[in-house]
Amino acid sequence: MDMRYDFFANPVSSTFLKQLVSSARPLVESSLPASTRELVALRVSQINGCGFCVDMHTKDAVAAGETQQRLHLVAVWREATVFTDSERAALELAEEGTRLADAAGGVSDEVWANAAKHFDEDQLGALISTIAVMNALNRLNVITQRPAGDYQPGQFG
């Protein structure tokens, strides 16, 4: 597959992308567990069909110590026994926050309450922001058909 558009080759899109990525720095520095953040990023990317981000977040998660078994089961987390209750709450919020058009009411009160039960205000803010940033990055990559497979862990700092 050939990439339709190289975001890094244009000064406007390159600046936008760098600022979008840098806006996520507070999320990395937050108290939301890195493993939860990577699982959410992976699940959002799976839902959106972003091969580049699936490749990236799988490799980054492995480099950070995540197991292959858990990564293989993210797409079917409801049927898997390897996730904690807080990870399940985060994955459920990620799914509803990504599939907004599929649920006329957006994120349900039940899903929100479950997430709020497992995460404090700072962690909830980081979780919501992770979901939003991933959805934006997924859309950029899917629209431009950025190919998957060449990402190296930590490539973007």
CATH code for the domain of 113 = 1.20.1290.10
Compute the Cα dihedral for 72, 77, 79, 85 and give only its sign: positive
Residue 57 lies in a domain: yes
Q: How many folded domains does the chain comprise?
A: 1
Tell me which residue of 33, 12, 41, 1 sits closest to 156, measured CA to CA: 41
Residue 152 lies in a domain: no
With 70 as the cut, is the pLDDT of residue 105 above it? yes
With 90 as the cut, is the pLDDT of residue 1 above it? no
Residues in the chain: 157
Give the model's confidence band at 157: pLDDT under 50 very low, under 70 low, under 90 confident, else very high. low
- DSSP, collapsed to helix, strand or coil, labels residue 55 as helix
Residue 151 lies in a domain: no
Tell me which residue of 77, 81, 83 sits closest to 95, measured CA to CA: 77
Contact 140, 7 (CB under 8 A): yes
User: pLDDT tens digits for 60-92?
Assistant: 999 989 999 999 999 999 999 999 999 999 999
Residue 154 lies in a domain: no
C-alpha 71/C-alpha 63 separation (Å) is: 12
pTM of the full predicted structure?
0.95
> What pLDDT does 64 receive?
87
With 70 as the cut, is the pLDDT of residue 51 above it? yes
With 70 as the cut, is the pLDDT of residue 20 above it? yes
Residue 156 lies in a domain: no
Residue 157 lies in a domain: no
With 70 as the cut, is the pLDDT of residue 156 above it? yes
Looking at every residue in the chain, the average pLDDT score rounds to: 95
| Percent composition of the chain: helix, strand, coil (DSSP 3-state, to 5) | 70, 0, 30
Average pLDDT of span 112-137: 98
User: pLDDT tens digits for 33-49?
Assistant: 999 999 999 999 999 99
Range of the domain at 52: 7-144
Residue 20 lies in a domain: yes
Residue 110 lies in a domain: yes
